[in-house]
Amino acid sequence: MFKKTTFNDFSYQDNQTHFLIILMGIPILVFMVSLSGSYATNVNTVGSNVSLNSSHYKITIFDHTVGGNVVANPRISQNIPKTDLSNQIFQMTKNGSVLLKFGNGNGPKLLMSVGIHGNEIQANIAAMKYLEFIKDKQFNGTLYIIPFDIPCDTALNTRYYKGMDPNRIANIPDTPSWKIVQFAKNNGINYLLDVHSGGGVGSNRFIYVNHYFSNREKNWVSYITYKTLSSTGYDSADSAGMIRVSSHNYGINSITLETERDNTPVMTAANAEFKMILAAAQYLGFPGTNYHPKVISTYPKVNAIRISLTAPVNIKFNENIKSSIYYSSIKLKNLITGKYVTITKTISDHTLYLKTSTTRSKYTWYQVTIPKAAIKDYADNNLLANYTFKFKTGSI
Ligand SMILES: [Zn+2]
């Protein structure tokens, strides 16, 4: 029941490691300071770049006092793919924690506060993975994500902020955790997801709720548990300075996710936490495992005629896709001969390309078939149904 102490153990070895990192950091710091002139210019360029805000989200600096270079942490740079979005976030977090806002403003308001402890990088990796999944989606509700609560701590892979546990001071004004909880309170947040990793969690994942939890918190936890087979812990040593407790005390439904920090391969634990985040989001109607990629356009168009004998066939989806178990069963069929045509398939971002190896027959109907489990999105969701369409060739 009460495992919080093992999760938050701070070992002597950690201390030594931090000391070493700090020592090694001194020459780097001196170097950084000498570069600060050009660095500032760089940041201004980024800050004025309109591409920072897509049509699906807004990204802003949240807390200017906690900036840090999170990719200086090798477990961050090695496990988070470089994309336009992740590069933007890495760049901006040098100036402070960043806040991303998604959704259309109707419905529930969820805040994900991620990695208040800078050495719990599985949490950051899982949240960044979720960001890649939702970055091109529109949906009901408002979703706020702070993917690195204290970037300067993540950079050093340390749990502590100015000698204090930052998750014990959320009730003390102007601390990083206080600002997060106050933001939730002042912006009408209904749900707060506090994402961590910890020692001693093991292959089970854990969800923590306050000792006196609300019915909503209980239902939320039950749903995640059901979807992910994770265990639930009831923290019997709530501290008023924890983000979850402080937020709960303002009437916000607040829970903590935990995955193994030390004794599981980083991506195994991060993927387990990603699944919990998907379930937590899905419970509130945000995109999760309830989501399915959809075809938004094709070339040739459905039932089009006089189509070229050689032009590649493209099928465009509403989100980034990858191959799934029945990928080899994607077929192009000549409807006159009834035979399948040899094709090569490639995927790039939203689009599946089918290229016929030989010239197609003239004035002939061809049919494309995509089994629903041939394509999936980045949360492993397949198509809702098989997809099929026809087109007819012309003479050239
Ligand atoms: Zn933690």
- Sign of the torsion angle spanned by Cα atoms 65, 70, 75, 79: positive
374's tokens? 């041939």
State the distance from the centre of ligand 1 to the C-alpha of 282, rounded, in angstroms.
23
pLDDT tens column, 213-233:
999 999 999 999 999 988 887
**Mean pLDDT along residues 179-203:** 95
Longest dimension (CA), the chain: 77
- Give the SS3 label for residue 285: coil
Angle between helices 215-228 and 266-283 (to 10 degrees): 130
State the distance from the centre of ligand 1 to the C-alpha of 80, rounded, in angstroms.
19
220's tokens? 């939320």
Hey, where are the domains in the chain? Answer: 4-9+50-283, 295-393
pLDDT tens column, 325-340:
999 999 999 999 999 9
In the chain, % of residues over pLDDT 90: 76
What's the pLDDT score for residue 208? 87
Report residue 107 CA to chain centroid gap: 21
Burial degree of 185 (CB within 10 A; 0-12, 13-18, 19+): middle
**Strand arrangement, sheet containing 231-234:** 57-63, 97-103, 142-146, 109-114, 191-195, 253-258, 206-209, 231-234
Burial degree of 104 (CB within 10 A; 0-12, 13-18, 19+): exposed
What's the pLDDT score for residue 271? 94
pTM given for the model: 0.80
State the distance from the centre of ligand 1 to the C-alpha of 73, rounded, in angstroms.
17
Highest mean pLDDT among 9-23, 36-50, 304-318: 304-318
* H/E run at residue 20: helix 12-47
State the distance from the centre of ligand 1 to the C-alpha of 117, rounded, in angstroms.
5
State the distance from the centre of ligand 1 to the C-alpha of 115, rounded, in angstroms.
7
State the distance from the centre of ligand 1 to the C-alpha of 136, rounded, in angstroms.
29
State the distance from the centre of ligand 1 to the C-alpha of 160, rounded, in angstroms.
10
What DSSP character marks residue 80?
A: S
* Distance in angstroms (rounded) separating the CA atoms of residues 38 and 314: 44
State the distance from the centre of ligand 1 to the C-alpha of 97, rounded, in angstroms.
17
State the distance from the centre of ligand 1 to the C-alpha of 344, rounded, in angstroms.
47
State the distance from the centre of ligand 1 to the C-alpha of 101, rounded, in angstroms.
23
**Mean pLDDT along residues 181-210:** 92
State the distance from the centre of ligand 1 to the C-alpha of 132, rounded, in angstroms.
23
Contacts of 163 (CB under 8 A, 6+ apart): none
Single-letter amino acid code for the residue at 376:
K
State the distance from the centre of ligand 1 to the C-alpha of 20, rounded, in angstroms.
22
135's tokens? 């970055």
**Mean pLDDT along residues 83-112:** 96
Which is nearest to 188 in space by CA: 257, 279, 268, 103? 103
**Mean pLDDT along residues 32-48:** 34
pLDDT tens column, 372-390:
999 999 999 999 999 999 9
Cis status of the peptide bond prior to 312, with omega within 30 of 0: no
Report residue 233 CA to chain centroid gap: 24
pLDDT tens column, 233-283:
777 778 999 999 999 999 999 999 999 999 999 999 999 999 999 999 999
Angle between helices 12-47 and 84-92 (to 10 degrees): 100
What's the pLDDT score for residue 72? 98
State the distance from the centre of ligand 1 to the C-alpha of 39, rounded, in angstroms.
31
Average pLDDT, the chain: 87
State the distance from the centre of ligand 1 to the C-alpha of 193, rounded, in angstroms.
13
pLDDT tens column, 128-140:
999 999 998 989 9
State the distance from the centre of ligand 1 to the C-alpha of 120, rounded, in angstroms.
6
In the chain, % of residues over pLDDT 70: 87
Q: Is the pLDDT of residue 34 over 50?
A: no
Q: What is the DSSP string of 105-168?
A: S-S-EEEEEE-SSTT-HHHHHHHHHHHHHHTT---SSEEEEES-S-HHHHHHT-S-BTTB-GGG
What's the pLDDT score for residue 31? 40
Higher pLDDT, residue 45 or 271: 271
359's tokens? 């010239």
CATH number for the domain running over 4-9+50-283: 3.40.630.10
Q: Is the pLDDT of residue 28 over 80?
A: no
- Give the SS3 label for residue 39: helix
Give domain 295-393's CATH architecture. Answer: Sandwich (2.60)
